[in-house]
Chains A and B, each alone.
Chain A
Amino acid sequence: MSATKSLSGWGRYPVLDCRTAEPPSTAEAARPHPERLGVARGNGRSYGDSSLAAAGTVLTKHLDRLLAFDPATGQLTCEAGTLLADVVATFVPRGWFPPVTPGTKWVSVGGMIAADVHGKNHHGTGSFCEHVVWLDLALGDGNVLRCSRTEHAELFAATCGGMGLTGIILAAAFTMIPVATARIAQTIERAANLDAALALFEAGRHWTYSVAWVDCLANGADLGRSVVFFGEHATQEQLPAAERATPLRQPVRGARRVPFDFPAMALNRFSVRAFNTLYYQRQRPGSALVDIDPYFYPLDALLDWNRIYGKPGFVQYQCVLPFATSREGLRALLAAAAADGSASFLAVLKLMGRPSFGLMSFPMEGYTLTLDFPVTPPTMRLLERFDAIVREGGGRIYLAKDARMGAEMLAGYPGLAEFRAVRQRYGLDQRFRSAQSDRLGL
């Protein structure tokens, strides 16, 4: 059963007509289909063209079964199309939480592995794949290999962060962390500028979670003005007395939906400046207990928020710079963004810790900055200037966000040669490709 669908990533740019298949089971997904040369797509939450393949996009949405859980170790086994939202909804009430979570829970476990996602705890906990015990990988020729740090380790390292280019992830086991409550003890601090923000991150290394919201239109002495959010899983004692009996209960929240594409003019430097100023003012420094959803997934409260950028879509630019160059590099990036005034609805700064073992994994020790831009010719030119800053600083761009960079930016990935070698060794370069891998010559 196959169909042709017009698909895009979360940024809605680019859009590509793709032949799709939706296997009902892992057994079906593992069958060889020589006519399909493509890539698996989980919930389509990578931003650019990573999950698009014209000849064959394999939708894993039916591979959504939870298979086993061991409360002694916290190890959860599930099929790759399982949504993180389902994991959170099922296991928080039992006192378990994903070891690493990205900024949305509408991602599949397979997608989390393929992008080797990181979260607000990266500086201490590392990326998601560091908590993956094993995964079952369909090689596209009918064979399925169980890969781990000890079995087919090179394939495991290529698959973790490999953007789906090493096969179809069928199922995986990963280790969850125990939590005593469904709430986060949050502390908010304001940073008047970039130096202050970096100092707060350094001083706050002991926090499990940390992230900063940057007002990227602030310029001059205010450059890098931000709100830094620190967090810990709350203990039972931290809860108000009335809630201590049901510490794992999560409130039921409605989500709003963006009902139509905003006109392209809706986001401009004035509306975004007003929003950012308001947001900065509204986040009062201090400590409070907050729920998991607003803390980890603030944008999930607005379903289809990608529509606010209108029909042309948007690109999310996420780069990481090593410590040696991050202060200067971030300053240059933020100054370029502020001077340009292109609306970035979201600018997020985060301290990163040790790099992952994944050959194409994004994280490295340093700082990562994320900005959104509407797709227009001037912003695309601005991003080329960004690329130069990142390249010069020895940084890299996150493949899960990328929709437009040139192949020269792959120089930021030292595991690239080994990644290509593993793909060739298993014949995977003949069976798996995406619009992104074509663009980058991966």
Chain B
Amino acid sequence: MSVHAAGPVLVLGARSDIARAIARRYAKAGRTVVLGARNAASLDADRADLELRYGVAASAVEFDVIGDEPDRFFAGLPEVPGTVVMVAGGNGVQSISDAEDAAAELVMQTNYLGPARVLLAAARVMQARGGCIIGVSSVAGERGRKANYVYGSAKAGFTAFLSGLRARLNGKVRVITVKPGYVATRATADMRLPPPLTAQPEEVARAVFDAEAKGRDVIYVRPVWWLIMLVIRAIPERVFKRLSI
């Protein structure tokens, strides 16, 4: 039995590899897809692909995760979405954030402030009919590491936000937190990631889709990450601060 929401699925930050895979997974199930990203006109090939491949309706809308008026964005949609998947965000580069205020601010905005404001606005329009809000957060939010703590702290905030939103909406609109772990994408193409810990974008998409179907609250895409983060959280700070992870 599927408990998927009715109505279109809105994928925000639709240009990333993970977002593209998520859009395809929902379209494969027959859901109408709305892609949101900056410069929406350039999403036309993606829109055409979803329609042709899966025979669903697909459209693209202009969306900026750090836009000023999230309520107006939702008011402008032709239809209230049944599912909203927030994929927008990005690592940034820690050493640049260390050095430049503007860079650090952008990472904080795109990974916490923006996504949280947008999903608050989503909750306001979805509350009446119900639905599902899915936030792609990160294992990086579970402990601040020197390698990516600006990003990690923003994701920590986003994870806490999703947890509180879930409690507040109390099942009327379901809220799912997704922690993908390593994912093989364009953004990580230059890193040597350990294959057993690294998911393909399609795998993330499947996990997201299944999490909605099964009514999950929090998921790690590869279950091994649950164990890894358990260990990482357990390391005493006095030791952790000296680790080069």
Contacts and interface: CB of A to CB of B under 8 A. Distances in A.
B228 interface: no
B28 to A, nearest CB: 11
Contacts of B53: 66, 86, 90
Interface stretch (A20-28, A121-129, A246-254): A20-28
Contacts of B52: 66-69, 90
A221 interface: no
Interface string B28-58: 0000000000000010011011001100000
Given A27-B42, A90-B53, A67 B189 contact: no
B45 A26 contact: yes
A242 interface: no
Contacts of A277: none
Contacts of B48: 65-68
Interface residues of B: mostly helix, strand, loop or mixed? helix
Given A65-B45, A65-B49, A24 B15 contact: yes
Contacts of B191: 3
B187 A66 contact: no
A143 B187 CA distance: 26
Contacts of A26: 45
A404 interface: no
Given A66-B52, A67-B52, A3 B190 contact: yes
A204 B116 CA distance: 67
B72 interface: no
B71 interface: no
A251 B233 CA distance: 47
Contacts of A68: 48, 52
B242 interface: no
A79 B45 contact: yes
A245 interface: no
A3 B17 contact: no
Interface string A230-258: 00000000000000000000000000000
Contacts of A67: 45, 48-49, 52
B186 interface: yes
Contacts of B190: 1-4
Contacts of B46: 65
A68 B53 CA distance: 10
Nearest to A65: B49
A22 to B, nearest CB: 5
B4 to A, nearest CB: 22
Given A66-B53, A90-B53, A22 B42 contact: no
A86 B52 CA distance: 12
Contacts of B187: 1
17 contacts: A1-B189, A2-B189, A3-B189, A3-B190, A3-B191, A24-B15, A25-B42, A25-B45, A62-B186, A64-B49, A65-B45, A65-B46, A66-B53, A67-B49, A67-B52, A68-B52, A90-B53
Q: Closest 8 interchain pairs by CB?
A: A3-B190, A65-B49, A66-B52, A65-B45, A3-B189, A66-B49, A67-B48, A66-B53
Given A2-B189, A3-B189, A62-B17, 4 more contacts: A1-B186, A3-B190, A25-B45, A65-B48
